[in-house]
Homo-oligomer: A and B are copies of this chain.
């Protein structure tokens, strides 16, 4: 797949070999997560708010209540930063200084567009739901006209984008390798536990296949 063009703002400068700009790496990081951190300014104060997202090709969709301060602010067409991070492990070096973390992150800079047409809005919600749980959309009651109106959807183009990835073991100073200190990686992983059915259920349908096999 093709590359995103790094800009002065997205090019990874300090540890350049951790920087990645190809769509394959960026898409994979975005598609295996579903919570992002959205950064924006309001009255000179930066805010960072966790929220869900969905991706379709080079568009990232955000959504939420039309009453949300974040979505109202972003609807005005101001600069935004969306960051998605996976934490893969603790990197334990022999010196405190060289401790690190294995991670994969994507940073997207841009201006989000308010999605207004009901058809595009509905399609964005489908993409959104399918991004979080593939197979879910066709199974649930879909949004009414009123629910659509109560939902704000924003589309952020993937244009100014970079990924940053650290993998592998610690990199110690040469003299430290002989120290009698355990060094290596403590891998971390997000796992899915058994589905917990709603106690308030009136019907009792079986757990759907797409949940039994759920992984990210």
A85 CB to closest chain B CB (Å) equals 4
**How far is A203 from B185 in the complex, measured between Cα atoms in Å?**
16
Main secondary structure of the interface of A (DSSP, over half): mixed
The answer to whether A147 and B203 have CB atoms under 8 Å apart is no
Q: Does A18 contact B (CB under 8 A)?
A: no
Count of residues in A whose CB is under 8 Å from the partner chain: 93
Copies of this chain held together in the complex: 2
Which of A45, A69, A144, A206 has the most B CB atoms < 10 Å from its CB? A45
Residues of chain B within 8 A of A20, CB atoms compared = none
Q: Does A176 contact B (CB under 8 A)?
A: yes
The answer to whether A190 and B187 have CB atoms under 8 Å apart is no
Within 8 A of B (CB), among A171-216: 172, 176-203, 205-208, 211, 214
8 more CB-based (< 8 A) A-B contacts, given A14-B69, A177-B200, A184-B198: A37-B50, A45-B109, A46-B81, A49-B83, A95-B142, A181-B203, A187-B193, A188-B192
